[in-house]
Amino acid sequence: MTEPGTTTPRERYRAQVRAEIKERAREQIATAGASALSLNAIAKQLGMSGPALYRYFTGRDELITELIRDAYRSLADTFGTVVRSGSGADLAALAHALRDWALADPQRYFLIYGTPVPGYHAPDDTTAIASEIMTFLLDACAELPAAAAPSAFDRHVEEHRRWADGHPAPPAALHRALSFWTRMHGILSLELAGHFTGMGFDAAQLFTAELDDLLAP
C-alpha cells in the first residue's frame, strides 16, 4: 500500500504526461488560438496516437478548462507576488503586473477574458480564484485616499456588495476596483486584439495615462 503523501511511479508518470500535454496545448493556443487546439496534433507531437490522450483528459473541453484554471491561477499568483514582494497592495504596481502578464501571452489572457462560448459555464473553483484576484484589487483600492462625496453608483454598490465577499473596503473603494478592472481590461483587450496597430500612438502611454487618471481624483 502506498503511504499517504508519497507518490507511486505510476502517479508520477501520469502527472508528467498530463503536464506535457498541457504544455503542448499551451504552445498551440499561444500560436494559433484556443479554437485551433487539436488533441490529435498534441498526441502526434508526443509520439502517441490520438485516443491515448483520453486516458489523461476526458476530452477537449476538460483540457481547455484546465488551461483556463491555470491561467486564473497564474494571474492570482502574479498579483500575490507583487503584493508580497513589493510595497504591499499598490494599485499601480498591480496594473503594470497585469499588463506585463497579459502581454507575455495574449491568448492566455483571452482564455479568461476573451469571447465567451455561449454554452460553456466556468467551474466553481475558477470563480473562487477570480474572487481571490478581486480581493487583491479591493485591498489596493482600500489603501487609496477616499474621494470627496459618494457618487450615485457608490450608493448602489453599497447596497450590492455581496460580491466583495465581506471585504471591509468602503463603497468608494469597491467602485474604484470595478473601474480599475473595466478600464484596464478595456485597454488591454483592444491592444492585445490588435485594434491599436496602425494607429501610431503608444499603447503603453495610453495605459499609464488611464491609470494615472484613475488614481488621481
Given the rule CB under 7 A, which residues bind DNA?
Answer: 1-2, 8-10, 13-14, 17, 37-41, 43, 47-52, 54-56, 58-61
- Residue 123: CB minimum distance to DNA, A: 16
Which is nearest to 206 in space by CA: 179, 173, 183, 181?
A: 183
Q: Which does 140 bind (CB under 5 to 8 A by kind): a copy of itself, DNA, none?
A: none
Total residues interacting with a copy of itself, rule: CB under 8 A: 54
28-36, 57-65, 89-97, 136-144 -> range binding a copy of itself (CB under 8 A): 28-36
Residue 108's contacts (CB-CB under 8 Å, 6 or more residues apart) are 26, 29, 30, 71, 74
Which residue, 23 or 61, is less far from DNA as judged by CB? Answer: 61
CA dist 90 → 12, 97, 111, 151, 168 (Å): 39, 11, 26, 24, 17
Does 74 participate in binding a copy of itself (rule CB under 8 A)? Answer: no
What SS3 state is found at 188?
Answer: helix
Name the residue among 76, 97, 100 with its Cα closest to residue 86. Answer: 97
* Interacting partner of 186 out of a copy of itself, DNA, none (Cβ under 5 to 8 A depending on kind): a copy of itself
> Which entry of a copy of itself, DNA, none binds 12, CB below 5 to 8 A by partner kind?
none
By the 10 Å C-beta count (0-12 exposed, 13-18 middle, 19+ buried), 145 is classed as exposed
Instruction: Look at residues 195, 188, 190, 200 and name the one whose alpha carbon lies nearest to residue 100.
Output: 188
Q: Closest CB to DNA among 60 and 69?
A: 60
Find which of a copy of itself, DNA, none residue 1 binds, CB within 5 to 8 Å per kind.
DNA
* Of 30, 210, 168, 41, the residue nearest 111 (C-alpha): 30
**Choice from 44, 81, 128, 163 touching a copy of itself (CB under 8 A):** 163
Residue ranges in contact with a copy of itself by CB under 8 A? 31-36, 107, 110, 113-119, 127, 130, 151-153, 156-157, 160-163, 175, 178-179, 181-187, 189-190, 192-195, 198-202, 205-206, 208-210, 212-213
